[in-house]
Amino acid sequence: MQFTIVTLFPEFFDSALGCGLMAKASESGLVSFAFKNPREHTTDRHHTVDDRPYGGGPGMVMMADPLAKTLGSIQASSGKPGRILMMAPKGRPFTQAMARELAQEESVTIICGRYEGFDARLEELFSIEPVSIGDYVLNGGETAALSVIEATSRLVPGYMGHEDSGEEESFSAGLLEYPHYTRPDVYEGLAVPDVLKSGDHKRIAEWRREQALKITLHSRPDILQEAPLSSNDLEILKK
Ligand code: ADE
Protein backbone atom coordinates (compact mmCIF):
# COMPACT_ATOMS: atom_id res chain seq x y z
CA MET A 1 0.00 0.00 0.00
CA GLN A 2 1.31 3.41 -1.02
CA PHE A 3 0.86 6.54 1.12
CA THR A 4 1.60 9.88 -0.50
CA ILE A 5 1.95 12.56 2.14
CA VAL A 6 1.59 16.21 1.20
CA THR A 7 3.37 18.26 3.86
CA LEU A 8 5.51 21.35 4.41
CA PHE A 9 7.47 19.26 6.96
CA PRO A 10 8.44 15.87 5.48
CA GLU A 11 11.20 15.53 8.11
CA PHE A 12 8.46 15.33 10.76
CA PHE A 13 7.81 11.73 9.66
CA ASP A 14 11.42 10.46 9.69
CA SER A 15 11.63 8.85 13.11
CA ALA A 16 7.96 7.86 13.44
CA LEU A 17 7.97 5.87 10.20
CA GLY A 18 11.55 4.69 10.63
CA CYS A 19 11.22 2.48 13.69
CA GLY A 20 9.51 -0.67 14.96
CA LEU A 21 6.90 -2.54 12.96
CA MET A 22 6.41 0.40 10.61
CA ALA A 23 10.09 0.28 9.56
CA LYS A 24 9.80 -3.48 8.98
CA ALA A 25 6.66 -3.03 6.91
CA SER A 26 8.29 -0.44 4.67
CA GLU A 27 11.54 -2.44 4.35
CA SER A 28 9.51 -5.42 3.15
CA GLY A 29 7.56 -3.23 0.70
CA LEU A 30 4.21 -3.90 2.39
CA VAL A 31 3.74 -0.15 2.79
CA SER A 32 5.60 2.66 1.07
CA PHE A 33 5.76 6.40 1.56
CA ALA A 34 6.27 9.30 -0.82
CA PHE A 35 6.47 12.91 0.33
CA LYS A 36 5.39 15.94 -1.68
CA ASN A 37 6.13 19.43 -0.46
CA PRO A 38 3.85 22.21 -1.80
CA ARG A 39 6.77 24.65 -1.45
CA GLU A 40 8.27 22.94 -4.48
CA HIS A 41 5.31 24.16 -6.51
CA THR A 42 5.76 27.86 -5.82
CA THR A 43 7.28 30.36 -8.23
CA ASP A 44 8.29 33.28 -5.96
CA ARG A 45 11.67 33.77 -4.34
CA HIS A 46 10.36 33.01 -0.84
CA HIS A 47 8.44 29.89 -1.85
CA THR A 48 5.29 31.34 -0.31
CA VAL A 49 2.48 28.87 0.37
CA ASP A 50 0.14 31.01 2.51
CA ASP A 51 -1.55 34.38 2.52
CA ARG A 52 -3.95 36.47 4.64
CA PRO A 53 -7.62 35.44 4.72
CA TYR A 54 -10.18 37.36 2.67
CA GLY A 55 -12.63 38.95 5.10
CA GLY A 56 -9.95 39.43 7.72
CA GLY A 57 -9.33 37.49 10.90
CA PRO A 58 -6.33 35.88 12.52
CA GLY A 59 -3.83 33.53 10.94
CA MET A 60 -2.89 32.63 7.43
CA VAL A 61 -4.56 30.45 4.82
CA MET A 62 -2.73 27.99 2.56
CA MET A 63 -3.11 29.13 -1.04
CA ALA A 64 -4.89 26.90 -3.53
CA ASP A 65 -2.28 26.95 -6.30
CA PRO A 66 0.74 25.23 -4.64
CA LEU A 67 -1.57 22.50 -3.33
CA ALA A 68 -3.42 22.10 -6.63
CA LYS A 69 -0.10 21.78 -8.47
CA THR A 70 1.16 19.26 -5.91
CA LEU A 71 -1.97 17.11 -6.36
CA GLY A 72 -1.69 17.50 -10.12
CA SER A 73 1.92 16.28 -10.01
CA ILE A 74 0.88 13.22 -7.97
CA GLN A 75 -1.81 12.42 -10.52
CA ALA A 76 0.68 12.85 -13.37
CA SER A 77 3.50 10.80 -11.82
CA SER A 78 1.63 7.91 -10.20
CA GLY A 79 -1.50 7.87 -12.32
CA LYS A 80 -3.69 7.31 -9.26
CA PRO A 81 -3.49 9.28 -5.99
CA GLY A 82 -6.25 6.98 -4.63
CA ARG A 83 -8.50 8.50 -1.98
CA ILE A 84 -7.34 11.99 -1.02
CA LEU A 85 -7.70 12.78 2.69
CA MET A 86 -7.14 16.20 4.18
CA MET A 87 -6.35 16.24 7.89
CA ALA A 88 -8.43 18.98 9.50
CA PRO A 89 -10.37 19.43 12.76
CA LYS A 90 -13.52 20.13 10.71
CA GLY A 91 -13.33 16.67 9.09
CA ARG A 92 -15.32 13.48 9.50
CA PRO A 93 -14.08 11.60 12.60
CA PHE A 94 -11.41 8.98 11.88
CA THR A 95 -12.48 5.55 13.17
CA GLN A 96 -11.33 1.92 13.14
CA ALA A 97 -13.98 1.32 10.44
CA MET A 98 -12.34 3.95 8.24
CA ALA A 99 -8.89 2.43 8.89
CA ARG A 100 -10.33 -0.91 7.71
CA GLU A 101 -11.67 0.72 4.55
CA LEU A 102 -8.38 2.48 3.80
CA ALA A 103 -6.36 -0.72 4.34
CA GLN A 104 -8.14 -2.13 1.24
CA GLU A 105 -6.82 0.68 -0.96
CA GLU A 106 -3.75 0.45 -3.16
CA SER A 107 -2.86 4.10 -2.58
CA VAL A 108 -3.99 6.92 -0.33
CA THR A 109 -2.92 10.56 -0.42
CA ILE A 110 -2.92 12.51 2.85
CA ILE A 111 -2.74 16.31 2.88
CA CYS A 112 -1.41 17.85 6.10
CA GLY A 113 -2.66 21.36 6.74
CA ARG A 114 -0.89 24.13 8.63
CA TYR A 115 -2.04 27.60 9.61
CA GLU A 116 -5.82 28.19 9.46
CA GLY A 117 -6.35 25.60 6.72
CA PHE A 118 -6.65 25.71 2.94
CA ASP A 119 -8.36 27.96 0.44
CA ALA A 120 -11.81 26.35 0.27
CA ARG A 121 -11.75 26.18 -3.54
CA LEU A 122 -9.34 23.28 -3.36
CA GLU A 123 -12.19 21.05 -2.18
CA GLU A 124 -14.23 22.10 -5.22
CA LEU A 125 -11.42 21.29 -7.62
CA PHE A 126 -10.45 17.89 -6.21
CA SER A 127 -12.35 15.09 -4.56
CA ILE A 128 -10.96 15.59 -1.06
CA GLU A 129 -12.23 14.03 2.18
CA PRO A 130 -11.57 16.14 5.30
CA VAL A 131 -10.74 13.84 8.24
CA SER A 132 -10.32 14.69 11.93
CA ILE A 133 -8.65 12.57 14.60
CA GLY A 134 -10.54 14.24 17.45
CA ASP A 135 -12.20 17.31 18.85
CA TYR A 136 -9.06 19.28 19.56
CA VAL A 137 -6.78 21.47 17.49
CA LEU A 138 -3.20 20.50 16.65
CA ASN A 139 -0.54 22.76 15.13
CA GLY A 140 -0.93 20.97 11.84
CA GLY A 141 -2.11 17.80 10.18
CA GLU A 142 1.17 15.86 10.46
CA THR A 143 0.45 14.30 13.88
CA ALA A 144 -3.05 13.42 12.69
CA ALA A 145 -1.71 11.90 9.45
CA LEU A 146 0.62 9.66 11.47
CA SER A 147 -2.37 8.29 13.39
CA VAL A 148 -4.19 7.49 10.16
CA ILE A 149 -1.08 5.88 8.65
CA GLU A 150 -0.38 3.72 11.69
CA ALA A 151 -3.97 2.60 12.32
CA THR A 152 -4.35 1.73 8.62
CA SER A 153 -0.98 0.06 8.03
CA ARG A 154 -1.40 -2.39 10.91
CA LEU A 155 -4.51 -3.74 9.15
CA VAL A 156 -2.67 -4.43 5.88
CA PRO A 157 -2.36 -8.25 5.71
CA GLY A 158 1.14 -9.31 6.74
CA TYR A 159 1.91 -6.24 8.85
CA MET A 160 1.63 -7.94 12.25
CA GLY A 161 3.35 -11.18 11.21
CA HIS A 162 2.05 -14.76 11.62
CA GLU A 163 -1.21 -15.37 13.44
CA ASP A 164 -1.54 -11.97 15.08
CA SER A 165 -4.19 -9.75 13.66
CA GLY A 166 -4.49 -6.00 13.87
CA GLU A 167 -8.11 -6.40 14.89
CA GLU A 168 -9.43 -6.61 18.42
CA GLU A 169 -9.90 -10.01 20.01
CA SER A 170 -13.41 -11.42 19.83
CA PHE A 171 -14.05 -10.94 23.60
CA SER A 172 -13.97 -7.20 23.12
CA ALA A 173 -15.23 -6.80 19.54
CA GLY A 174 -16.79 -3.36 19.36
CA LEU A 175 -15.89 -2.74 23.02
CA LEU A 176 -12.85 -1.36 24.83
CA GLU A 177 -10.24 -3.96 25.73
CA TYR A 178 -10.30 -6.03 28.92
CA PRO A 179 -7.30 -5.65 31.31
CA HIS A 180 -4.09 -7.64 30.76
CA TYR A 181 -1.62 -8.99 33.33
CA THR A 182 1.81 -10.61 33.15
CA ARG A 183 4.39 -11.80 35.71
CA PRO A 184 4.96 -11.38 38.60
CA ASP A 185 1.94 -13.00 40.19
CA VAL A 186 1.83 -10.40 42.97
CA TYR A 187 3.13 -6.88 42.47
CA GLU A 188 3.16 -4.32 45.30
CA GLY A 189 0.63 -6.50 47.11
CA LEU A 190 -1.70 -6.66 44.08
CA ALA A 191 -2.45 -10.18 42.81
CA VAL A 192 -3.35 -11.25 39.28
CA PRO A 193 -7.05 -12.32 39.24
CA ASP A 194 -7.25 -16.07 40.04
CA VAL A 195 -9.44 -16.84 37.03
CA LEU A 196 -6.58 -15.96 34.64
CA LYS A 197 -4.42 -18.66 36.26
CA SER A 198 -7.20 -21.28 36.31
CA GLY A 199 -6.49 -22.69 32.85
CA ASP A 200 -10.30 -22.72 32.33
CA HIS A 201 -10.60 -21.03 28.92
CA LYS A 202 -14.36 -20.70 29.06
CA ARG A 203 -14.27 -18.90 32.41
CA ILE A 204 -11.37 -16.72 31.22
CA ALA A 205 -13.36 -15.71 28.13
CA GLU A 206 -16.42 -14.89 30.28
CA TRP A 207 -14.32 -12.84 32.69
CA ARG A 208 -12.70 -10.90 29.84
CA ARG A 209 -16.05 -10.20 28.21
CA GLU A 210 -17.45 -8.94 31.52
CA GLN A 211 -14.43 -6.69 32.07
CA ALA A 212 -14.64 -5.29 28.53
CA LEU A 213 -18.34 -4.54 29.03
CA LYS A 214 -17.75 -2.80 32.39
CA ILE A 215 -14.81 -0.75 31.12
CA THR A 216 -16.78 0.32 28.07
CA LEU A 217 -19.83 1.26 30.17
CA HIS A 218 -17.58 3.33 32.40
CA SER A 219 -15.35 5.08 29.83
CA ARG A 220 -17.32 5.05 26.57
CA PRO A 221 -21.05 4.41 27.12
CA ASP A 222 -21.64 5.91 23.64
CA ILE A 223 -20.02 2.96 21.84
CA LEU A 224 -22.19 0.39 23.66
CA GLN A 225 -25.07 1.52 21.42
CA GLU A 226 -23.21 0.23 18.36
CA ALA A 227 -21.65 -2.91 19.89
CA PRO A 228 -23.17 -6.32 19.15
CA LEU A 229 -24.50 -7.36 22.61
CA SER A 230 -26.00 -10.70 23.67
CA SER A 231 -28.79 -11.05 26.24
CA ASN A 232 -26.11 -12.24 28.70
CA ASP A 233 -24.12 -9.04 28.03
CA LEU A 234 -27.23 -6.98 28.81
CA GLU A 235 -27.65 -8.88 32.12
CA ILE A 236 -24.03 -8.08 33.05
CA LEU A 237 -24.53 -4.41 32.24
CA LYS A 238 -27.64 -4.24 34.47
CA LYS A 239 -25.67 -5.40 37.55
N1 ADE B 1 -5.20 19.41 12.23
C2 ADE B 1 -5.28 20.13 13.36
N3 ADE B 1 -6.03 19.55 14.26
C4 ADE B 1 -6.47 18.37 13.71
C5 ADE B 1 -7.29 17.32 14.15
N6 ADE B 1 -7.86 17.32 15.36
N7 ADE B 1 -7.51 16.29 13.31
C8 ADE B 1 -6.98 16.30 12.07
N9 ADE B 1 -6.19 17.26 11.60
C10 ADE B 1 -5.94 18.29 12.41
Please check whether residues 184 and 120 belong to one and the same domain.
no
d(CA 151, CA 131): 14
Please check whether residues 211 and 128 belong to one and the same domain.
no
Q: Which of 5, 115, 133, 136 best tests ligand 1's pocket when mutated (most atoms within 8 Å of CB)?
A: 133
Confidence of residue 116 (pLDDT cuts 50, 70, 90): confident
ipTM: 0.98
Report if residue 165 sits inside a domain: no
Please check whether residues 146 and 175 belong to one and the same domain.
no
Count of structural domains, the chain? 2
Measured in Å, residue 208 CA sits from the centre of ligand 1 at 34
Measured in Å, residue 33 CA sits from the centre of ligand 1 at 21
CATH number of the domain encompassing residue 180: 1.10.1270.20
Measured in Å, residue 114 CA sits from the centre of ligand 1 at 9
Confidence of residue 167 (pLDDT cuts 50, 70, 90): low
Please check whether residues 175 and 122 belong to one and the same domain.
no
Report if residue 186 sits inside a domain: yes
Asked if residue 7 has pLDDT above 90, the reply is: yes
Q: Burial letters for 17-48: b for 16+ Cβ neighbours within 10 Å, e otherwise?
A: beeeebeebbeeebbebeebbbeebbeeeeee
Residue-range definition of the domain harbouring residue 179: 170-238
Please check whether residues 134 and 202 belong to one and the same domain.
no
Protein residue with least CA distance to atom 6, ligand 1:
89
Please check whether residues 7 and 113 belong to one and the same domain.
yes
Measured in Å, residue 138 CA sits from the centre of ligand 1 at 5
pLDDT at 163 (0 to 100): 45
Final residue in a domain of this structure, among 153, 181, 215 = 153
